Chains A and B, each alone.
Chain A
Amino acid sequence: MTDVNDVQPDEAAISPLDDTVRAEMAEIIARYPEPRSALLPMLHLVQSRQGYVTPEGIELCAEVLDITEAEVAAVATFYTMYKRRPVGEYHVGVCTNTLCAIMGGDAIWDDLSEYLGVGHDETTEDGKVSLERVECNAACDFAPVMVVNWEFMDNQTPGSARELVDRLRAGEEVVSTRGPRICTWKQAERVLAGFPDGQATEGVSAGPASLVGLELAHENGWTAPEGGQRELGGSKK
């Protein structure tokens, strides 16, 4: 087991914060009426290059936004998605908020943590997988829920969770149960900075649980009433 706090950042895994990054930060700032609004996406961008919020990244954000490093650090330490040490290439979350925990999330967590030999916010020695107990991820009808690099893995069991991390560690392609191919954690962070990667149309429109009510409505011929009045611009009866 390796505590993330003991991990020495792999220098080779860190891309420099070069002129390209500065240009991209300028692009982010241009989206907003006031520059400081760009700070959250800028920190996502720093993570996409360097794997976590580095001291260098904090300095650059402060310089570019003309605020203090303390102000940047205060923000970076407030939000759980900003990491102070490198996470795995695949950051795996197990929901252990009440509903998922009771439906099996606690059992999955205990088993997976033992199987990988790492605990909360820790990374496997090969640097491939890190684990996090996540709070409710808004997929309760698919409980117990896991996420990999913030893509949904619905309806998990201890067995499916082991298989999932095995495949991730073996470098196999893994697809979200109702989404796209799982990308690397750094690529995910780049998307969250507002730079699309072309995967938006991958995956289904909705997972099975999202559709149970609609299917029942179809079976029974239930619909919303016909739109009647057409008050705006339409012809009135």
Chain B
Amino acid sequence: MSEVSKLTPVLTARWDQADSFTRRNYEKADGYKALRRALQRKPEDIVEMVKDSGLRGRGGAGFPTGMKWSFIPPQDPAEPKPVYLVVNADESEPGTCKDIPLMMADPHVLVEGVIITSFAIGAKHAFIYIRGEVLQVYRRVLNAVAEAYEAGYLGQNILGSGFDLDVVVHAGAGAYICGEETALLDSLEGRRGQPRLKPPFPAVAGLYASPTVINNVETIASVPSIVSGGAEWFRSMGNEKSPGYGIFSLSGHVTKPGQYEAPLGITLRELLDLAGGIRGGRELKFWTPGGSSTPMLTAEHVDVPLDFEGMAGVGSMLGTRALQIFDDTTCVVRATARWIEFYKHESCGKCTPCREGFWWMVQILERLEEGNGTEADLDKLLDMSDNIAGRSFCALADGGVAPVVSSIQHFRDEYIAHFEHGGCPFDPAASTLFAQELGAKA
């Protein structure tokens, strides 16, 4: 096979088309053909195919998708329980901004993925849980589902196959924690969004205590192209353990922030080249590979492959490929303090280490930022991190300590500079996009 292109638009390929979000335009681009193919096969063939493709969950954790589907237990014919598919469209991880434009521009690829996946796992009811704070995205997906019903892609006896499926598009109401899959289920059941203890895993006891598959938007949207192109085609991009393409979201101090769809394993150096480098010829200082919950990295990591193993190898995580880029005008203490304020705000309050821990951390980080801290505060922050991570029900706690631990690891001197100089040595105006307008010193 010839060398794969640097960028490989599949999910993003139609985003520049006028009215790409209508069913008519999706069908013109061969939309819903994968569904017709899939419905002629056995559901277990689809599961096998997705397993063979090696697709790993695109919501951050990277669990093999086909394997997740195969955890749905065989039905007891005497007492069949309904199986549910739930799409996690609660995109809220700081830095993550790929699912929202996907649903805005191409909601039908998600709907087609939902139908094929439901067929594969035997679900007759699927839910798309979209965060409430993105009104037009909710409108577009709601509209796409209505259009799919009109065309007979949803409802009873879909395309004469005998398969029935109903899809509900559900709006959340503002809570980061609902992106955690079991909190999402509680929220979808009309409760406070608080994570559940696992096991039982959702595949056994999920929505309404029934077997449930929960997948991220980008994961489900990848299914139609895998069905059309085949597992081998999917594997012709990326690498052995991280196959396929994914959307890389560059934000912050880059010349051209935006969405870049590429094979997994591309490096930040390559992406920065494509994005015109760091703005104004400045230097890269630190970056997150996949949202604020993935430990930050520095300029020394720009050649590490952005895939699951590569990022784990340098003590971080691929996460959601939300590459937040900060240049040398940025105060890492300020950035970290603000992230911890976020985790404090979003802690659901269920587990004491997370609820109390971030509350205390914010106060320590505030005094460090103001120049009133001491070196003992840094040790205290690390000690607290040890007592928060791994001691709560869900991964919010683990993710929340990531910026603290990694920033102290890479930038301990900068913390010290704050209390040695009696305050922040950086000019916040210099790191804005309108630095000159604000009369920045830098």
Contact = CB atoms under 8 A, between A and B. Distances in A.
Interface of A: 31-34, 36-41, 43-44, 65, 74-75, 78-82, 93, 96-99, 101-104, 106-107, 134-144, 147, 149-152, 155, 157-159, 176, 178-180, 188, 191-194, 196-197, 199-203, 205-217, 220-234
Contact of B142 (A65, A143, A194): A194
A143 B257 contact: yes
A205 B140 CA distance: 10
Contact of A99 (B18, B168, B192, B324): B324
A135 B339 CA distance: 10
Nearest to B339: A98
Q: Please tell me the size bucket of the interface on B.
A: 35 or more
Contacts of A102: 252, 326, 330, 334-335, 428, 431-432
A119 to B, nearest CB: 16
Given A138-B91, A212-B256, A222 B15 contact: no
A82 B132 CA distance: 11
Nearest to B194: A78
B285 to A, nearest CB: 11
Interface in B122-152: 125, 131-136, 138-140, 142-143, 146
A149 B135 CA distance: 8
Given A140-B95, A140-B251, A205-B18, A80 B175 contact: yes
Nearest to B329: A102
Interface string B86-120: 00000111111101110011100000000000000
Contacts of A213: 7, 9, 12, 248, 258-262, 274
B345 A135 contact: yes
19 contacts: A75-B192, A78-B348, A80-B173, A81-B174, A98-B94, A139-B97, A196-B139, A200-B143, A205-B14, A206-B15, A206-B105, A211-B16, A214-B12, A217-B8, A222-B6, A225-B236, A228-B229, A229-B230, A232-B38
B360 interface: no
Given A107-B432, A135-B92, A151 B136 contact: yes
Given A140-B249, A232-B45, A217 B16 contact: no
A82 B173 contact: yes
A107 B437 CA distance: 11
Contact of A231 (B92, B230, B338): B230
A107 B230 contact: no
B227 A79 contact: no
Contact of B37 (A75, A80, A191, A233): A233
Contacts of A178: 104
B299 interface: no
Given A34-B189, A106-B428, A205-B18, A98 B342 contact: yes
B40 interface: yes
B330 A150 contact: no
A188 to B, nearest CB: 5
A232 B37 contact: yes
B169 interface: yes
Interface of B: 1, 4-10, 12-22, 34, 36-38, 40-41, 45-46, 49, 82, 91-97, 99-101, 104-106, 125, 131-136, 138-140, 142-143, 146, 168-176, 187-193, 208, 225, 227-233, 236-237, 245, 248-253, 256-262, 274-275, 292, 322, 324, 326, 330, 334-335, 338-339, 342, 345-346, 348, 428-429, 431-434, 437-438
A67 B18 CA distance: 47
Contacts of B1: 225
Contacts of B260: 212-213, 216
B335 A205 contact: no
Nearest to A236: B230
Given A150-B132, A213-B7, A233 B40 contact: yes
A75 B174 CA distance: 11
Contacts of A38: 190
Contact of A192 (B171, B187, B258, B433): B171
Q: Most chain-A Cβ atoms within 10 A of its Cβ — which of B143, B236, B338?
A: B338
Contact of A180 (B4, B136, B176, B233): B136
A96 to B, nearest CB: 8
A34 to B, nearest CB: 6
Contacts of B230: 227-232
Nearest to A137: B133
A159 B438 CA distance: 11
A224 B10 contact: yes
Given A39-B190, A212-B259, A233-B37, A101 B338 contact: yes
A107 B189 CA distance: 39
A151 to B, nearest CB: 6
Contacts of A143: 251-252, 257, 433
Contacts of A103: 252-253, 431-433
A34 B346 CA distance: 27
Nearest to B325: A99
Contacts of A34: 189, 208
A182 B274 CA distance: 34
B171 A205 contact: no
Contacts of B125: 33
A107 B429 contact: yes
Given A102-B335, A141-B259, 11 more contacts: A40-B173, A40-B187, A81-B132, A81-B172, A102-B431, A144-B433, A150-B134, A192-B132, A211-B15, A227-B233, A229-B233
